[in-house]
Structure 1
Amino acid sequence: MKLNKITKAALCMSLLAAMGCTGDFEDINTNPNGITPELFEQDFNHIKGGFAPMFNNIQVLTPEWVYQLQQGLNCDIWSGYMATPTGFAGGINNTTYSLVDGWNGFIWDYAYSNVMFNAYDIAQKSKGKYDQFYALSLILKVEGMHRLTDTFGPIIYSKFGTTDSTIEYDSQQEVYNQMFSELDFAVAELTKREDAGEASTFATTDMSGYGGSYKAWAKFANTLRLRLAMRIVKVNPALAKTQAEKAIAHKYGVFTTNADLFKVVSPVYTNPIATISGAWLDIRMSADMESIMGGYNDPRLATYFDTSTQFPGQYKGVRTGIDIAAKSDHQDFSGIGAVVRSKEIVLFTTAEAYFLRAEGALRGWNMGGDAKSLYEAGIAASFEQRGASGAAAYIADNVKTAKAYVDPNFPVNNSPALNNVTIAWDAAATNEVKLQKIITQKWIAGFPEGQEAWSDYRRTGYPKLFPVLKNYSGTTITTEFGVRRINFVQSEKAGNAGGVATGVAKLGGPDNGGTRLWWDTTGANF
C-alpha cells in the first residue's frame, strides 16, 4: 500500500527502533518470526497493537526529554501551571516568547507518528468489519489530535493517508466538525454494543482503567464532546449549545464520579514530570500557582507541590519570562509534588466535567443542574480526587483571594495579585465574575495537565496570569495576551510546503505565535 509522505514518516518513526526504515514498505509487513497472518489476527492482535502507542503518546510518557519538548516547555508554562528555573538557550526560548522550532516540532511529529498513524492503521483494519475497535480508536484520535489543532490551528486531518504530493490542511473549523462526527459514530457504535450485552473485546488492551467497558468509553466520548463544545462557544455559540446538550442528553451522560475520569495507566512509566522536576530540577511551581492557591490556602497544595528546600515549610513559585542569570537562583523553590509521582496520568478529570456544565448552565444551556450546584460539585470532586479534606469550608469561603507574588531572591520579579476573585459562589455577581470563578477553580482542579488550561486561558482570559517581564518575540506576540499558538513546524515546511501554504491560508493571519486560532476570538465572553 502506498502512503503519503507524512504517513511514511510516521511509520518510519514507529518502526525505526526495531528495524530501521527504508523504502521497502511491502516487506515491513512480513513477520520475521514466521507467524502467519491467521495466527497474528487471532484475538484481534493485528488491530490491538496500534492502541498502546496512542495511549502512550497523547502525552508522551517516555523518554522524559521528549515530553519536556512536547508539552513541558510550552503549554505547561503558558497555562500558568509551571515555570522553569533554567535559562535554556541563554534565556531566549519559549518561556520568553522566542519560539524554538527545534523544540516545537516534537509536538507535531509525535502526534502524527503515534496517534494519527495508528488511528489510520486501525481504521484500515477494522472499519466496517470490527467497528468496536474503530470506534475506540476514534475517541483516542480525537483526544490526541484536538490538542494538536488547539496548538497549531489548521492541521492535516481529513487528508491524512492520501497519496497526493501536496497534503492539504483542514481549517480548525473543519477539524472540529469532523471530530464531532467521529464522536457521533463512536458513541452510537459503543452504545449499541453495550445495550446488546456484548462482551468487550478491548479489556486486555485498555490502558485507561475502564477495563474495556463500552459504556465507560461512550461516557468519555460524551464528556470529550462537551469539552470541544465549550471550546467553540464564542465563535459558534449555536453549535456549541447543540453539541453540549447532546452530550448531557445521551443515556450514559458525562462524568459524574471520579471513577469516570480518563487516565492512562502505564504498567511501566511514571509521569515524566516527576523526573523533569525531581531529578533534573528543570520545572518548578509557578508564581501564579503560589499566588492563587497560596492566597486561598488551598488544601490541595500539599499534593500538587513540594515545599521549597531553600525556604523550608514554604511553597515558592517561579515567575515565567524573567531574566535567569543562573539555574541555582530558583532551582530550590517548590518542585512538583506527589500528584506526578504515579503511573496514572490523568488527562480528563470529573471536576472538569462539572465545571464545563457549570459554564454551560451559566450560559442558559440545559446542563442537568444550575451553575452554582455544578460549580460546587466540581470543587468537591477535585478535593475527593486528590484526597484533600475541607471542601465544604473552602467552597463557602467568601474572603480569601489570590496573594501578591514575592520573589525573595530577586524583588524585580514581584507583582501584586491579579486574579482577585473569592471562592464562594455569588448569585449577585455578573456573569463575567461567575465565569472567572468557574475557570479559576477549573484551572486549579486540572493541574498538572497544561494543555487544557492553556486553551481555557486563551478562550476566556482566566485565570488572570502574571505577564512575562522578558519578551523576545520581536513584537509578534504581545506581552498582554501571550502565546496564542505555535507556528507550523520545519519538517512540514521542508517536506510539504504546499500543504503548509494551505494551512496558512486557512489560519487567518501570519504564521507566528501571536495569531489567534479559529475559536480564540477577541470578542467578549458574554
Structure 2
Amino acid sequence: MKLNKITKAAICMSLLAAVGCTGDFEEINTNPNGITPELFEQDFNHIKGGFAPMFNNIYVYTPEWVYQLQQNLNSDIWSGYMATPTGFAGGINNTTYALVDGWNGFIWDYAYSNVMFNAYDIAQKSKGKYDQFYALSLILKVEGMHRLTDTFGPIIYSKFGSTESTIEYDSQEEVYNQMFSELDFAVTELTKRVDAGEATSFESTDLSNYKGDYKAWVKFANSLRLRLAMRIVKINPALAKTQAEKAVAQKFGVFTTNADLFKIVSPVYNNPISTISGAWLDIRMSADMESIMGGYQDPRIETYFDPSTQFPGQYKGVRTGIDIAAKSDHQDFSGIGAVVKTKEVVLMTTAEVYFLRAEGALRGWNVGSDAKALYEAGITASFEQRGAAGAAAYIADNTKTPKAYVDPNFPVNNSPAVNNVTIAWDAAASNEVKLQKIITQKWIANFPEGQEAWSDYRRTGYPKLFPVLKNYSGGTITTELGVRRINYVQSEKAGNSGGVATGVAKLGGLDNGGTRVWWDKAAPNF
C-alpha cells in the first residue's frame, strides 16, 4: 500500500505498536514482531486494532487540551452552549471571530490521522471478507467525518489514500452522497446478520454502550442518516425527504428509548470538559444558556451546570465575544456540571431523534407521527435521560420565555432576551415559530455536544443567540450571522496546496469563516 505524503502523516500518528513509521509503506501490513499472520489474524486482531483510535478521536478524550482546540474553543462556543472567561491571545481569537489557524488545525489533523486513516486501513483488511467490521467502520467514519465536512465544507473523502501528489477534494454534496451510500451498505450488511441470528464479532472492541449489538448499530446508522437528511433540507429537499423517510421506515427504525442513544464509554478517561471547566476554569456556562434555561426555569440546569461560586445559589453565564480584561472577572461564574463528570461522551441522543422527526413531520414527511407528539416526546426523553422531574408541567408551560442577560460585574455585556418563544406547542403558530420551538428544545437536549448544535444554528438560525460585542474578523465574518465555517488549515496549504485549491473552487466562495458550506443555504426555512 503506497500512500501519498498526507496519508503518510496520518499513518505515522495512527499506527500503534504493530507498524513502525518509516518510508516503506509497501510493507504496512507486516508485523515487525515476528508474529505470523495467522496468529495475528486470530479473533480478527489485525482488524480490531483500528477501532479504538476511531472511537477515541471523534471526540478527543485525552489530552484534554487537544479537545479544547478540536471542539471546545470553536463549536462548543459558537453553538451558544459555553463561553470562556480566558482572554486567550489578548482576546483576539476564535471567540471574537479572529480564527486561530494554530488551534483549528487540530480539528482536521485528528480526524484524518485517527478516524479516516483507520477507516481506510480497516477497509483494506475487511471489505469483501469480513464485512461486519467494514460496516461498523463505515458508521464510525460517517459519524466522525460528517463533523469535519460540516466544519470545513469540501474535504478529502473518496480520494483518501491516493498516490497522486495532489489530492483532490470532494464537494460537500459528493461527501454527503457517499456517506448515504456507506450507511446503505452498513445497514444492509448488519441487518442481514441480525436476521441470520449471527453472534456479534465486535463486542470486545466496541467502546460504545452497544457492546457489539448489531441491531443497536443499525438503529444508530438509521438515526445518523436522519440527522444528515435534515442537514440538507434547504439545499436538496427532495433527497432530504427520501433519506429521512428511509431511515424511519427501516425495519429496526431509529432511536425511540434512551437505551438507544449513542455514547462512547472510556474505561480510563473522563470527559475532557470536566477538566477544562473544573480544573482549568477555562470554560463556563454561556449567557445564552443562562437566558434560555433560566427563563424557562428548566430543571435540567442543575445537571448541566454548577452554581456560581461568586454568586452562590445562582447560575451565571458568560457572554461570548466580550472584552476580557482578566480571567478572574468571570472564572467564578457557573462551570459545567455533572453532565460532564463522567467517562461517557454522548454523541447522539434519543431526544435529538424525536426532534428531527418533529421537524420532518412539520415539513409534511412520513416519519411515523405528528409534529406535536414528536416534539413533546423529545422533551420527555431528555428529561428522562437527565433524571429530571416535571416534564409534563414543563411541556404545558405557555408563559415562560427566556430572560434578559445581566452581567453583574460588567453591565456593558447586558442584553434583553433574543430567543423569545414559549415552550408549549401552539398549533396555531406559524411553521417558523414551531421550528424555533423544536430547535430550541433540541439545543437544550443535546447539551453539551456543541458540534451538532452549531450546525443546527447555522442551518436554521435557532435558537437565536446573543451577538458578539467584539468582532476581530476584519469584515470576513458578520456579527449578525457568526462563523459559518473554518478556513482550511496550514498543514494542508503546505502539503497539498493543489488539493486545497480544488476545495476552495468547490466551496464556491472565499476560504474564510464567513463563507457558507453547501447545505447552509441563504434561504428561508420554509
TM-score, normalised on structure 2?
Answer: 0.99
- Cα deviation, residue 4, structure 1: 1.7
- Cα deviation, residue 29, structure 1: 4.2
- Cα deviation, residue 37, structure 1: 1.3
Partner of 2:330: 330
Q: Match for 1:135: what amino acid?
A: A
Cα separation, partners in 2 of 1:278 and 1:19, compared to 1, 3 Å: farther
Partner of 1:128: 128
- Cα deviation, residue 32, structure 1: 4.1
Structure 2 Cα separation of the partners of residues 343 and 170 of structure 1: 35
Structure 1 Cα separation of the partners of residues 57 and 195 of structure 2: 31
2:259 is the alignment partner of 1:259: yes
Partner of 1:288: 288
- Counterpart of 1:263 in 2: which secondary structure? strand
For residues 13-162 of structure 1, the aligned pairs below 5 Å read 13-15=13-15, 21-26=21-26, 29-162=29-162
Structure 1 Cα separation of the partners of residues 139 and 17 of structure 2: 27
- Cα deviation, residue 36, structure 1: 1.4
- Cα deviation, residue 35, structure 1: 1.6
Cα separation, partners in 2 of 1:18 and 1:62, compared to 1, 3 Å: farther
Partner of 1:359: 359
Partner of 2:167: 167
Cα separation, partners in 2 of 1:307 and 1:156, compared to 1, 3 Å: same
Structure 2 Cα separation of the partners of residues 11 and 365 of structure 1: 43
Structure 2 Cα separation of the partners of residues 6 and 246 of structure 1: 36
Q: Match for 2:319: what amino acid?
A: R
Contact 2:61 2:272 in 1 (8 A): yes
Cα separation, partners in 2 of 1:334 and 1:17, compared to 1, 3 Å: farther
- Counterpart of 1:221 in 2: which secondary structure? helix
Residue by residue, what CA displacement relative to the aligned partner does 1:437-458 show, whole Å, maximum 9, x if unpaired?
0000000000000000000000
Residue by residue, what CA displacement relative to the aligned partner does 1:64-116 show, whole Å, maximum 9, x if unpaired?
00000000000000000000000000000000000000000000000000000
- Counterpart of 1:383 in 2: which secondary structure? helix
Structure 2 Cα separation of the partners of residues 432 and 208 of structure 1: 36
- Cα deviation, residue 18, structure 1: 9.0
Residue by residue, what CA displacement relative to the aligned partner does 1:255-302 show, whole Å, maximum 9, x if unpaired?
000000000011011100000000000000000000000000000000
Contact 2:19 2:29 in 1 (8 A): no
Structure 2 Cα separation of the partners of residues 433 and 450 of structure 1: 23
- Cα deviation, residue 19, structure 1: 8.0
- Counterpart of 2:203 in 1: which secondary structure? coil
Comparing 23-32 and 286-295, the one that deviates more: 23-32
Residue by residue, what CA displacement relative to the aligned partner does 1:346-383 show, whole Å, maximum 9, x if unpaired?
00000000000000000000010000000000000000
Structure 2 Cα separation of the partners of residues 506 and 226 of structure 1: 25
- Cα deviation, residue 162, structure 1: 1.1
Residue by residue, what CA displacement relative to the aligned partner does 1:113-144 show, whole Å, maximum 9, x if unpaired?
00000000000000000100000000000000
Q: Match for 2:111: what amino acid?
A: A
Structure 2 Cα separation of the partners of residues 334 and 18 of structure 1: 45
Partner of 2:248: 248
Question: What CA RMSD, in Å, does the superposition of the two structures yield over aligned residues?
Answer: 1.1
Structure 2 Cα separation of the partners of residues 512 and 494 of structure 1: 17
- Cα deviation, residue 236, structure 1: 0.4
Q: Match for 2:379: what amino acid?
A: I
- Counterpart of 1:108 in 2: which secondary structure? helix
2:300 is the alignment partner of 1:300: yes
- Cα deviation, residue 520, structure 1: 0.3
Partner of 2:389: 389
Structure 2 Cα separation of the partners of residues 165 and 19 of structure 1: 24
Structure 1 Cα separation of the partners of residues 26 and 358 of structure 2: 52
Structure 1 Cα separation of the partners of residues 24 and 463 of structure 2: 52
- Counterpart of 2:111 in 1: which secondary structure? helix
Contact 2:18 2:31 in 1 (8 A): no
Q: Which runs of 5+ in 1 are unaligned?
A: none
For residues 200-279 of structure 1, the aligned pairs below 5 Å read 200-279=200-279
Cα separation, partners in 2 of 1:21 and 1:33, compared to 1, 3 Å: closer
Residue by residue, what CA displacement relative to the aligned partner does 1:222-275 show, whole Å, maximum 9, x if unpaired?
000000000000000000000000001100000000000000011011100000
Structure 2 Cα separation of the partners of residues 431 and 210 of structure 1: 36
Cα separation, partners in 2 of 1:34 and 1:515, compared to 1, 3 Å: same
- Cα deviation, residue 492, structure 1: 0.4
Q: Match for 1:133: what amino acid?
A: F
Percent identity, please: 89
Q: Match for 2:438: what amino acid?
A: I
Structure 2 Cα separation of the partners of residues 20 and 483 of structure 1: 40
Partner of 2:6: 6
- Counterpart of 1:264 in 2: which secondary structure? strand
Q: Match for 2:458: what amino acid?
A: R
Residue by residue, what CA displacement relative to the aligned partner does 1:323-345 show, whole Å, maximum 9, x if unpaired?
00000000000000000011111
- Cα deviation, residue 21, structure 1: 3.4
- Counterpart of 1:13 in 2: which secondary structure? helix
TM-score, normalised on structure 1?
Answer: 0.99
Cα separation, partners in 2 of 1:27 and 1:247, compared to 1, 3 Å: closer
Partner of 2:178: 178
Partner of 2:192: 192
2:513 is the alignment partner of 1:513: yes
Cα separation, partners in 2 of 1:72 and 1:20, compared to 1, 3 Å: farther
Structure 1 Cα separation of the partners of residues 129 and 41 of structure 2: 13
Residue by residue, what CA displacement relative to the aligned partner does 1:33-58 show, whole Å, maximum 9, x if unpaired?
33211101000000011001000011
- Cα deviation, residue 208, structure 1: 1.1
Structure 2 Cα separation of the partners of residues 204 and 13 of structure 1: 24
- Cα deviation, residue 175, structure 1: 0.3
Partner of 2:504: 504
- Counterpart of 1:346 in 2: which secondary structure? strand
- Counterpart of 1:499 in 2: which secondary structure? helix
- Counterpart of 1:71 in 2: which secondary structure? helix
Contact 2:14 2:118 in 1 (8 A): no
- Counterpart of 1:204 in 2: which secondary structure? helix
Partner of 1:445: 445
Q: Match for 2:318: what amino acid?
A: V
- Cα deviation, residue 15, structure 1: 3.9
- Cα deviation, residue 16, structure 1: 7.9
Partner of 2:407: 407
Structure 1 Cα separation of the partners of residues 184 and 280 of structure 2: 43
- Counterpart of 2:345 in 1: which secondary structure? strand
For residues 435-474 of structure 1, the aligned pairs below 5 Å read 435-474=435-474
- Counterpart of 1:493 in 2: which secondary structure? helix
Structure 2 Cα separation of the partners of residues 29 and 432 of structure 1: 54
- Counterpart of 2:66 in 1: which secondary structure? helix
Q: Which runs of 5+ in 2 are unaligned?
A: none
- Counterpart of 1:358 in 2: which secondary structure? helix
Cα separation, partners in 2 of 1:2 and 1:454, compared to 1, 3 Å: same
Contact 2:19 2:31 in 1 (8 A): no
Contact 2:77 2:83 in 1 (8 A): yes
Q: Match for 2:241: what amino acid?
A: K
Structure 2 Cα separation of the partners of residues 310 and 28 of structure 1: 56
Structure 2 Cα separation of the partners of residues 69 and 510 of structure 1: 23
- Cα deviation, residue 22, structure 1: 2.8
Cα separation, partners in 2 of 1:86 and 1:20, compared to 1, 3 Å: farther
- Cα deviation, residue 209, structure 1: 1.1
